[in-house]
Structure 1
Amino acid sequence: MAEVHALDDYYLAITLFITIAYQLFFFSIAFTLKFDKLTDFAGGTNFIVLAIITLAFSGHHNARQIVDSLFIMIWGARLSGFLLFRIIKTGKDDRFDDKRDKFFSFLGFWVFQMIWVWTVSLPVTVLNSPNVTKYRQPNFGTGRDIAGVILFVIGFLMESVSDIQKYIFRSKPENKGKVCDVGLFVWTRHPNYFGEIIIQFSIFMIAVSPAAYGYAHGGAYSALYASILGPFFLTLLLMFVSGLPLQERPGAKKRYESGNHWESYLTYTKRTSILIPFPPQLYVHMPTILKRTIFLEFPLYVFDPAKHADQSKVREREAEEGGASSGNEQNHGVQDHA
């Protein structure tokens, strides 16, 4: 089967147009019906659509293309399936409470999702493109291929297992408000993020093999290496935009102001690496400078009660607790007197 040349020889334009159309279709449903259950599903399944289309268009179905395309499809299917299951259980997505009824604010999220899907798909998109498939490739099984497969399996297991562990932990009534410190969360506060980063770099590692082993030249060589923008973009997204910044300091602030297991959370953060898995027995004794550098626990994640807490909320909570405590003491006094 001959390859299909669509707009450009790297499939960049056609995948962008497909992504925009796909996301706008689901956006129209979500906004019109005020329906939250399709948002993350649309993101995850979009990866599957792009991988299938570019692989079908490529006309050259060698093992490397098939494996890399399958990997991103498996990841997208698991991610979208799990998030759909979770939103069905919870009923609505709190992220959109202030956006759901505002056209442009809500659309802004979907535009960002378009950029996320198209950019992260780049390694597979470029690998399946005509300007790469026209070159003879090394047989699948190179050192980079094997390393990529191993990393994918590790990352996929970490992300999948940690999602299940957190869901089970939070679904138990006795764990309401408690810190999830079970399973993989003993080694890192965000094993799902770490697993996702590994997955994307593993897909890039496999995709770049034709260039790394000298089988791609010129523009194809540069395009394969440039597709590292995909895993880098996802890493930056998780570390500086929508991942850790929304989880760490805001989560600590909420716990501190409400007094919700604050001490146990503080103990957990001191002994548990923020992203890179590491034995807690060693991490707790790690110098702060190493935590802030090697282990990526940057100052922007750190919560300082004196700087970041709303002290009025803390005083209100303490006053309520004091009143409740006083009331309990009076009740005990009446019972003792009786």
Structure 2
Amino acid sequence: NDAMSLTIARCVSANARITANTRNTSRASVRARRNAANSSRGLSLARIQSPSVTRQHHQSSRGAVAANALPAMSAILSTHYALPALWAACAPAVALAYINPIYSFSIGYGLSILFASAFVHQALVASGTFVTTMLALHVAGGAAYGARLAAFLFYRSVTWDEWRERAKNAPEANAKSFAKQTLVIALCSALYAMMSSPMMWHAQNVNAVNAAKYAGVIAVGLALEWVGLILEAVADQQKFNYKATEEGKTKWCSKGLYKFCRHPNYLGEIMFWVGLYVAGFPAMLTRPITLVPSSLGLLFIVKLMTSAAKRGDKKQLEKYGEDNAAYKAWVESTCSLVPGN
């Protein structure tokens, strides 16, 4: 009996274990089915939300592309492609000539200098180059000059009827064919790139410049750049305001700065470009080849402004000077650009 009882107990115990295992297996199976269902619902939810996920993915991709673009810009700045890249930066502004050919020499001119300054700034940001105060003032001066000039010329073009008529009849406005306009855009943007290139050479070679040796040269250049910028801005505004008066419609401007100089706006322009060049000169000495495009650009703009002053004197003499003692007295008491001329 004891043996039978022990056998029965063992059988009961075995059956209990089998039952428990069966229950555990069933519970595990239920949990597995629940997990599968939850996974299915999660996948469905992900599919429903996929547009936003896709947008986030695309935004991340665009951010990565933008991040990679800046190092590429800094790499271009340190190579022989720097000047062509600056040329390309100026071209979109000059391309306004497709709207009106005269814009190549007015609004597009100002904007191209602004765009060139922005290009140099972005290249500096991308490269992580330490920006000295003098370099910052150099590039900021170019940006301020371009922005101010473009804004002024645009405002004048839409408010001054006489200027619009003169612009319409200018020889530059006759380049109507697409090929001629494209050629003008290419040449002008190349010229503006050469003129503004001292900023780029300064940025490119700032660490190679002997700061202690050339600090005075750079400071003189910056002073000329900023004083010229302000002088031109004030002279432009004074003449514009005078021409808007009844007296200004029939008489030459002899107010403000024009009491002392017949073309203070041209003088300011020359001072600005000479200053921009001088501020970048020490950096250009570290790579003498860079002196070539910068010097050509400077010589062109100085020649252009001095020639414009001579033409202006001739036109004013023809318009106001015949038997006009007051005009002749004003001419004798003023200089065309600087004392002695």
- TM-score interval w.r.t. the shorter chain? 0.5 to 0.7
Amino acid at match of 1:5: I
Contact 2:110–2:147 (Cα < 8 Å) also in 1: yes
Q: Post-superposition shift, 1:247? A: 1.1
1:142 aligns with 2:215: yes
% same residue: 18
What does 1:190-229 align with in structure 2 at a 5 Å threshold? 190-210=263-283, 216=286, 220-224=287-291, 227-229=294-296
Q: Which residue of 2 aligns with 1:161?
A: 234
Which moves more between the two structures, 197-206 or 37-46? 37-46
Amino acid at match of 1:246: R
Contact 1:23–1:110 (Cα < 8 Å) also in 2: yes
Contact 1:37–1:88 (Cα < 8 Å) also in 2: no
Q: Which residue of 2 aligns with 1:65?
A: 135
What number of residue pairs does the alignment pair up? 261
Of 58, 82, 97, the residue aligned with 2:169 is 97
Task: Indicate the SS of the match to 2:100.
Answer: helix
| Residues 149 and 65 (structure 1), Cα distance of their counterparts in 2 relative to 1, 3 Å cut | closer
Contact 1:10–1:125 (Cα < 8 Å) also in 2: no
Q: Which residue of 1 aligns with 2:144?
A: 74
What does 1:1-338 align with in structure 2 at a 5 Å threshold? 3-5=74-76, 8-9=79-80, 11-24=82-95, 26-30=96-100, 40-58=106-124, 59=127, 60-63=129-132, 64-91=134-161, 92-97=164-169, 99=171, 100=173, 102-104=175-177, 107=181, 110=185, 113-129=188-204, 132-133=205-206, 135=208, 138=211, 142-210=215-283, 216=286, 220-224=287-291, 227-240=294-307, 243-256=308-321, 262-276=324-338, 278=339, 295=340, 297=341
Q: Post-superposition shift, 1:137? A: 5.3
Task: Indicate the SS of the match to 1:165.
Answer: helix
Amino acid at match of 2:75: V
Task: Indicate the SS of the match to 1:121.
Answer: helix
- Render the CA deviation track for 1:229-255: whole Å, top value 9, x for unaligned: 333221111113xx2243121332233
Task: Indicate the SS of the match to 1:208.
Answer: helix
Question: Structure 2: any 5+ residue segments left out of the alignment?
Answer: 1-69
**Whole-Å Cα distance in 1 between the matches of residues 114 and 180 of structure 2?**
24
Contact 1:65–1:127 (Cα < 8 Å) also in 2: yes
**Whole-Å Cα distance in 2 between the matches of residues 121 and 110 of structure 1?**
16
Q: Post-superposition shift, 1:173? A: 0.8
Q: Post-superposition shift, 1:62? A: 1.6
Task: Output the aligned Cα RMSD.
Answer: 3.2
Q: Post-superposition shift, 1:133? A: 4.9
Bigger Rg, which one: 2
- Render the CA deviation track for 1:162-190: whole Å, top value 9, x for unaligned: 11211122211133221211111111111
**Whole-Å Cα distance in 2 between the matches of residues 194 and 98 of structure 1?**
23
**Whole-Å Cα distance in 2 between the matches of residues 10 and 133 of structure 1?**
18
| Residues 174 and 135 (structure 1), Cα distance of their counterparts in 2 relative to 1, 3 Å cut | closer
Contact 2:94–2:104 (Cα < 8 Å) also in 1: no
**Whole-Å Cα distance in 2 between the matches of residues 102 and 136 of structure 1?**
44
Amino acid at match of 1:189: R
Q: Post-superposition shift, 1:197? A: 1.0
**Whole-Å Cα distance in 2 between the matches of residues 112 and 22 of structure 1?**
13
Q: Which residue of 1 aligns with 2:58?
A: none
Task: Indicate the SS of the match to 1:180.
Answer: coil
**Whole-Å Cα distance in 1 between the matches of residues 170 and 279 of structure 2?**
41
Amino acid at match of 2:106: D
**Whole-Å Cα distance in 2 between the matches of residues 265 and 123 of structure 1?**
40
Amino acid at match of 1:166: K
**Whole-Å Cα distance in 2 between the matches of residues 224 and 245 of structure 1?**
28
**Whole-Å Cα distance in 2 between the matches of residues 68 and 170 of structure 1?**
33
Q: Post-superposition shift, 1:45? A: 0.8
Q: Post-superposition shift, 1:54? A: 2.7
Amino acid at match of 1:71: G
| Residues 198 and 166 (structure 1), Cα distance of their counterparts in 2 relative to 1, 3 Å cut | same
| Residues 185 and 84 (structure 1), Cα distance of their counterparts in 2 relative to 1, 3 Å cut | same
